[in-house]
Amino acid sequence: MPSNKSVSDAPIVQFTNCRILRSHQLQREDLWVREGKILNPEKLFFDEKGSADIQVDCKDSIIAPGFIDVQINGGFGVDFSLATDDFKSGIDLVSQKILSHGVTSFCPTLVTSPPSVYHQVLPQISIRNGGAHGAGILGAHLEGPFISKEKKGAHPEHCLRTFETGAFQDLLATYGSLDCVRIVTLAPEMKRSSEVIRELTKRGICVSLGHSVANLSQAEEAVQHGATFITHLFNAMLPFHHRDPGIVGLLTSDKIPAGRRVFYGMISDGIHTNPAALRIAHRAHPKGLVLVTDAIAGMGLAPGRHTLGQQVVEIDGLNTYIAGTKTLSGSVATMDTCVRHFQEATGCSVETALEAASLHPAQLLGIEHKKGTLNYDSDADFLMLNDGLYVQATYIAGEEVWRQDALGM
């Protein structure tokens, strides 16, 4: 066998007998990995005269990029909006447990909270790569407190805030720091929101519109100032109206700046959005759809009472309500469940369903050169799935970090 030593001593792994999601198509070819990156086999053969050190038979599995969850409030008894002494061990637990659901990186999400919670929790969230310890952390998603009282949903009203004269300074004082923040959800109809959107965008932070009573022109203005995302489309916003479609109208707006794409999150759990609404959104703007779980601490736990930040929530089957009300409060669906439901509800292709949980969130965050695809030189974060889109194994940086045991397959 020709030697691989000319370029690197690291072993080359060849995944065979698989269908790889690449360039929007499932392609029957092998996947080559070295040092956590996906290799171009042509360069390997012709430039390095290299070959595989290890071969893995994928038994006709689908290989897809790892899922990226940009809105997850917690899970498995851990609530990211609660300031606790063992917050770090909580985030570690969630990042470990979501590997089995195909999530290889995520944005821990905090719902509307008092400033003291942000000041305690945010310094404990650090951006880090994934691995055997768990999914990678891409930065925090701060959902609130600069949102509409009328569309607060499960957010505690007494913690909501508005922008005063020094709008961006208000935001900084509330959060304490933006060092690890990746996404901020705010209501664009609030006074002075435009300057806040501009400042956040300048710092590379994604601005999302949500929990809002904005009309379409206010939403369009926010996008012109730099907003690129809509938080859980249809939920906690004005319903679509033919004369003023509100934030929903951004999906087909002709006022989006050239070269800009607006993305929108959808909780595809069969509860938050009727399948017909899911189909309408998907058909109107398929390339912008980003699947999110919006999962709360109760994900992975038995029905009963759990927390979501400052509130108590009740889980009844797949429904989660603010205790004593019928106000929906996050979900207990896992990302792989959302992918399967989305594919079933819309009748879309397997490729489309998988890209809504991988490529699209990576594009939203501007990391598609590293994550969300299986292109050459990108990070080898990928999943093996069966034809029913059930996860069989999860890999981060080319290393297996979770596998379904033989009995469960």
216 is known to lie in a ligand binding site = no
Element (H, E) at 112: none
- Residue 308 tokens read as 């979501």
Element (H, E) at 93: helix 87-97
302 is known to lie in a ligand binding site = no
309 is known to lie in a ligand binding site = no
328 is known to lie in a ligand binding site = yes
- Indicate where the chain has its CATH 2.30.40.10 domain(s): 13-64+373-403
3-state class (DSSP) for residue 67: strand
The overall average pLDDT reported for the chain is 95
215 is known to lie in a ligand binding site = no
66-365: CATH homologous superfamily?
Answer: Metal-dependent hydrolases (3.20.20.140)
Contact between 33 and 380 (Cβ < 8 Å)? yes
3-state class (DSSP) for residue 165: coil
Q: Alpha-carbon dihedral of residues 134, 140, 141, 142, nearest 10 degrees?
A: 140
| pLDDT for residue 7 | 60
CA gap 300, 293 in Å, rounded: 12
Instruction: State if pTM tops 0.85.
Output: yes
Alpha helices in 226-319 (DSSP H): 275-284
| pLDDT for residue 406 | 53
50 is known to lie in a ligand binding site = no
| pLDDT for residue 1 | 43
| pLDDT for residue 200 | 98
329 is known to lie in a ligand binding site = yes
| pLDDT for residue 3 | 45
* CB atoms near residue 57 (< 10 Å): 11
- For the domain spanning 13-64+373-403, the CATH number is 2.30.40.10
Contact between 363 and 69 (Cβ < 8 Å)? no
Q: What is the CA radius of gyration of the chain?
A: 21
Contact between 87 and 74 (Cβ < 8 Å)? no
- Indicate where the chain has its CATH 3.20.20.140 domain(s): 66-365
Contact between 237 and 151 (Cβ < 8 Å)? yes
Tell which residue, 132, 75, 44, 95, has the closest CA to residue 298.
75
| pLDDT for residue 45 | 83
| pLDDT for residue 407 | 43
Catalytic (active-site) positions: 294
CA gap 176, 113 in Å, rounded: 13
Which parts of the chain have pLDDT scores under 70?
Answer: 1-7, 406-409
Q: Is the peptide bond before 275 cis (omega within 30 degrees of 0)?
A: no
